[in-house]
Amino acid sequence: MREVDLAALESALTDGATVIDVRERDEYAQVRVPGVTNIPLSEFVARIDETPTEGTVYVVCAVGGRSLQAAQYLAGRGVDAVSVAGGTDGWARSGRPVESDA
């Protein structure tokens, strides 16, 4: 399974890539990478039709464990999916911009 770093995610976002955040809704509401779509891992299989099948799909979670599971699932379905190492926690710690519902 492919993993990318935060710099690759930042570049992909600039290029308009699809990024899915698989953290639960409450985590997503607290802090998130701007421009990501929330499909919680607990709902991922049921909502798989919301995931594009073309192009690279970037998957992010808090630190990288759940995103790796989701990316592996997508790859098994023939999707070019990558997990983002460091996740949202690393993104926020690095000083990159975040969004919040708070």
CA distance 19 to 67: 11
Q: Is 30 a catalytic residue?
A: no
pTM of the model: 0.96
Beta-strand relationship, 56-60 and 80-84: parallel
Instruction: Give the pLDDT of residue 72.
Output: 97
Q: Select from 88, 87, 70, 90 the least CA-distant residue to 79.
A: 70
pLDDT score, position 8? 97
Instruction: Please identify every stretch of the chain with a pLDDT value under 50, giving residue numbers as ranges.
Output: none
Can you say how many angstroms the Cα of residue 5 is from the centroid of all Cα atoms in its chain? 12
**Choosing from 60, 61, 62, 82, which is the catalytic residue?**
61
